[in-house]
Amino acid sequence: MNPDLDALHPYPFEKLAALKAGLSPPPGLAHIPLTIGEPQHAPFSGALQTLVAYQHEMARYPATAGLPELRQAVADWAVRRFALAGLDSERQVLPVNGTREAIFAFIQAALDRTRPAKVAMPNPFYQIYEGATLLAGGEPLYLDCTEKNHFRPDFSAISADTWREVQMVFLCSPGNPTGAVTPLEEFKKLIALADEYNFIIASDECYSELYLDEAAPPPGLLQACAELGRHEYQRCLVFHSLSKRSNLPGLRSGFVAGDAALIAPFKRYRTYHGCAMSLPLQRASISAWQDEIHVRANRDAYREKFAAVTSILSPVLDFPTPEAGFYLWPAVPDGDDEAFTRRLFERAHVSVLPGSYMGRAGVTGINPGEGRLRLALVAELEPTVQAAQRIRDLLEGKL
């Protein structure tokens, strides 16, 4: 077996299961999980109807490049959403089976093992960035996201010598788990660094359509390129998904877009990888990318939920107000995120994820996730509010 497999850390939910092993929660309280970022809102019905209408196309092999109609629907959506001058659906768009698969595959295809291969990533982070880097023979470079730097990576802290060994920078904006959004000016500064040191910027933007202020949608990497007049999007790729936007995590549908010089070899890699999206799923994806009504309704539902949960928890927990996404990132009063997670499950039958499970002790030797919790507000309003109230009751000594 590949010896790099031994470098992989246990997945956060494996660690959580071990942490809760042997605990006995109150039998009279129904379990409310706030752990996995799996949307529980109703999936976009138009996509489901399209799946049924095109089910006969399961009899055909799909092409790696995807249907021209899907690539065009994606390009049209991205141009509208991020005010782009254009996006070539033939050269600059590639449909993928969700961002998780695409991120993992892209790192395997892009890293050059014959020279230093650091991959910079936010810390805490989505586990795939690290695991894919290790399996590609690269070295994770953890960039701590703390309250001091507004929960965003501080690229100015990286030395020139380190930059010379960086082959790729991963961004996650809006951030998982912090909800922080990268401003356009930070994107632009990073693009300048990519030009100077010749690395790829990969921006995971799968939460981009879940934001609290309807008048302030989060900007994206390609938007920053467009404002700089870089309409070929050199060295830049974005990853988008229908999982959060349209509540379709089971569809496993997303896209990669940006620099055609990166898209072309990645498509060649994927041709051998054998991961083309089935045709009915592509048809359903077209219907989802072409509809914004359901997305606005989805944002409204999250806003109502965030307002309710914030009113309950803000008197007893300290957390940054998320700009986007569906997570809360509160600090634990006593600083022990594992102990609080166990206590919350045992006394209130609510599951959360210890923040330390999403981070690593980087150059500072301190895990920036320690002492925090990730609360995924993905369930419907009533159970989410119940969970928040149980957390407050525990903190106030009522449980």
What is the per-residue DSSP string for 220-263? -HHHHHHHTT-TT-TTEEEEEEHHHHTT-GGG--EEEEE-HHHH
Looking at residue 274, what is its pLDDT? 84
Looking at residue 44, what is its pLDDT? 98
CA atoms within 13 A on the CB side of 390: 26
Looking at residue 220, what is its pLDDT? 98
* pLDDT by position in tens, the chain (length 399): 988 889 898 899 999 999 999 999 998 999 999 999 999 999 999 999 999 999 999 999 999 999 999 999 999 999 999 999 999 999 999 999 999 999 999 999 999 999 999 999 999 999 999 999 999 999 999 999 999 999 999 999 999 999 999 999 999 999 999 999 999 999 999 999 999 999 999 999 999 999 999 999 999 999 999 999 999 999 999 999 999 999 999 999 999 999 999 999 999 999 998 889 999 999 999 999 999 999 999 999 999 999 999 999 999 999 998 889 999 999 999 999 999 999 999 999 999 999 999 999 977 889 999 999 999 999 999 999 999 999 999 999 998
Q: Where are the domains of the chain?
A: 3-42+294-395, 60-291
User: Superfamily for 3-42+294-395?
Assistant: Aspartate Aminotransferase, domain 1 (3.90.1150.10)
* Fold (topology level) of 60-291: Aspartate Aminotransferase; domain 2 (3.40.640)
Q: Are 145 and 178 in contact (CB under 8 A)?
A: yes
- Residues pairing with 318 in the sheet: 331
- When computed from its CA atoms, the radius of gyration of the chain, rounded to whole angstroms, is 21
Phi, psi of 382, rounded to the nearest 5 degrees: -60, -55
Q: Are 244 and 326 in contact (CB under 8 A)?
A: yes
Looking at residue 273, what is its pLDDT? 86
Distances (CA, A) of 90 to 70, 263, 302, 313, 330: 11, 10, 35, 48, 43
Q: Identify the DSSP state of 345.
A: H
C-alpha torsion 94→100→105→111, nearest 10: 110
Query: How do 353-354 and 373-376 pair as beta strands?
Result: antiparallel
